[in-house]
Amino acid sequence: MASEKAKRVETNGTAANADRAIQLKNRRENRGHGATADWSSVDPGILRSAIHAVTKQGMAIMFGLTRDGSAYTIRYIGEDAPSPEYVRPTEDIDLHLEGVVQDFDG
């Protein structure tokens, strides 16, 4: 027998979307205490240094956020590029970017 939730999904796609939104909100609160990532809080000098270090190696760097805003996203584009990185807003994004500078500059 189908569960009540399964019945709602079958009959109403918006119920599934509402459930997903609640799940994402709960997950964000559990992982990052409800904090959302905000690139405007990053030190511009460190951000500039990270861009310089990565592009000096012939690669590109792309900054973004996860869909629910619960983490910063850093992607590298180029040959032998490392995997995307996800940094929670509860972590020190400036310190993370200083590590990017060291990895690519060093």
Pairwise CA distance, residues 106 & 97, whole Å: 14
pLDDT at 80 over 70: yes
Assess whether pLDDT exceeds 60 at residue 79: yes
What is the reported pLDDT for 105? 87
100 and 62, same domain (yes or no): yes
Per-residue pLDDT averaged across 49-66, rounded? 96
Amino acid at 75: R
The tens digit of pLDDT for each residue in 10-56 reads 445 566 677 777 776 766 666 656 678 999 999 999 999 999 999 99
pLDDT of residue 13: 59
Q: In this structure, what token pair is assigned to residue 83?
A: 């995997």
Supply the range of the domain harboring residue 93. 39-105
Q: What is the mean pLDDT of the chain?
A: 83
Residues 16 and 44 placed together within one structural domain of the fold: no
Residue 19 sits in the same domain as residue 69: no
DSSP state of 92: -
Task: Check whether 64 has a pLDDT greater than 90.
Answer: yes
Query: Looking at the 3D structure of the chain, how many domains does it have?
Result: 2
48/95 same-domain check: yes
Residue 36 is predicted with a pLDDT of: 85
